[in-house]
């Protein structure tokens, strides 16, 4: 069951959806663009902290705006990078909260990759192609 727009926004911001949306959450974690959406979730989760730190540097410590924005931007980049570095583990952990076995999402993505590779080999690795 696909959640309504407010719930989808809540999910993108890092919120947890009710259990009856578990199939939709699993589909989001296994579709081909899952990593892009995971990166968007990370960005939206780190952004408020980055803004708060930037404002604290300017308003609390009197830092120049360009320096504060540069520091905030670096924090945003590092935060998103760190989050995306653990995307597979984080996604699989989230799926266990919805009742799926550990590694279920990664296994679905791995199987899809193998099917795609087989299709590639069938088309491009034929004897007339010299392989």
Residue-level pLDDT, tens digit, the chain, 131 residues: 889 999 999 998 889 999 999 999 999 999 999 999 999 999 999 999 999 999 999 999 999 999 999 999 999 999 999 999 999 999 999 999 999 999 999 999 999 989 888 888 888 876 665 55
User: What pLDDT sits at residue 24?
Assistant: 94
How large is the greatest C-alpha to C-alpha distance in the chain, in angstroms? 69
56 half-sphere exposure, CB direction, 13 A CA radius: 8
Indicate the helix (H) or strand (E) that contains 70: helix 65-85
Q: Residue 130: count other Cβ atoms within 10 Å of its Cβ.
A: 6
User: What pLDDT sits at residue 14?
Assistant: 87
User: What pLDDT sits at residue 124?
Assistant: 84
User: What pLDDT sits at residue 110?
Assistant: 93
8 A C-beta contact, residue 46 and residue 79: yes
> What residues contact residue 105 under an 8 Å CB cut-off, 6+ apart?
26, 29, 30, 34, 91, 92, 95
8 A C-beta contact, residue 96 and residue 89: no
End-to-end Cα distance, the chain? 46
């Amino acid at each position: 069951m696909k959640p309504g727009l407010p719930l989808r926004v809540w999910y993108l911001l890092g919120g947890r959806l009710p259990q009856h949306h578990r199939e939709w959450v699993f589909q989001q974690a296994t579709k081909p663009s899952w990593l892009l959406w995971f990166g968007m979730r990370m960005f939206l989760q780190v952004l408020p902290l980055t803004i708060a730190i930037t404002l604290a540097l300017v308003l609390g410590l009197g830092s120049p705006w360009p320096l504060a924005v540069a520091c905030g931007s670096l924090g945003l980049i590092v935060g998103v990078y760190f989050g995306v570095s653990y995307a597979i583990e984080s996604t699989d952990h989230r799926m266990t909260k919805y009742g799926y076995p550990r590694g279920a999402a990664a296994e679905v993505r791995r199987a899809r990759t193998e099917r795609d590779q087989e299709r590639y080999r069938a088309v491009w690795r034929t004897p007339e192609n010299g392989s």
